[in-house]
Amino acid sequence: MPICILAFSLSFKNPVLLTKEVEVDETFIGGKEGNRHYNKKKKVTVGSAKADKIVVLGLIERNGKVIAKVITNTKAESILPVIDKHVEKGATMLTDEWYAYGQVDKLGYQHKTIQHNLKIYVVGKTHTNTIENFWRVLKRGLYGIYHFTSEKHLNRYLDEFTARYNTRELGNEERFEKFLGQSDLRLKYQTLIQN
């Protein structure tokens, strides 16, 4: 059980729309299957080492905002609808070589790829370092502050960290007032703990 959880949800009136240069990447959140208590094991039989973790997709506009969403898997049918919803047509998409991003140009985006599998991480302005840095901050925050996040509430944690990033130019008081003004959900304790 986490010690602390953000008990309100940020409700933005308009969905965030990213433009210009947008980096896209996915990450995996969660502990190793072998470290779980027996009754918490997922009993995954898939051959992937990451099959026991939760997949999170991140989109970040350079010098702009970030979006992070839990998705069901890393296949194109899970990734492309999120991109299509949150990125303006004509934007330049910067990704790694994961096959699911191969159809991005067919959706009306310019697409540049960096070859992580060849240990190439930057070629001119083509890189995914901005989203990788956001993953580092997110994971340090999750593991260092909260120590544990349940799959049920992971989107709430993602909302908190993306909101912090997206309001990084504001002072603490301005940020708090903004969050409070946009909060429209009262989360009851019973709702928080039920399965």
Domain contains 189: yes
pLDDT for the residue 166: 84
Domain contains 157: yes
Per the structure, the complete domain to which residue 62 belongs is given by 21-31+50-193
Length of the chain: 195
pLDDT for the residue 185: 65
Domain contains 11: no
Supply the CATH number for residue 54's domain: 3.30.420.10
Secondary structure string (H, E, C) spanning 148-195: CCCHHHHHHHHHHHHHHHHCCCCCHHHHHHHHHHHECCCCCHHHHHCC
pLDDT for the residue 183: 67
Q: How many domains does the chain have?
A: 1
**DSSP label at 46?**
S
pLDDT for the residue 17: 85
| Average confidence (pLDDT) per 10 residues, the chain, 195 residues | 36 67 90 65 49 85 91 90 91 89 87 81 83 91 81 85 84 77 70 71
pLDDT for the residue 114: 84
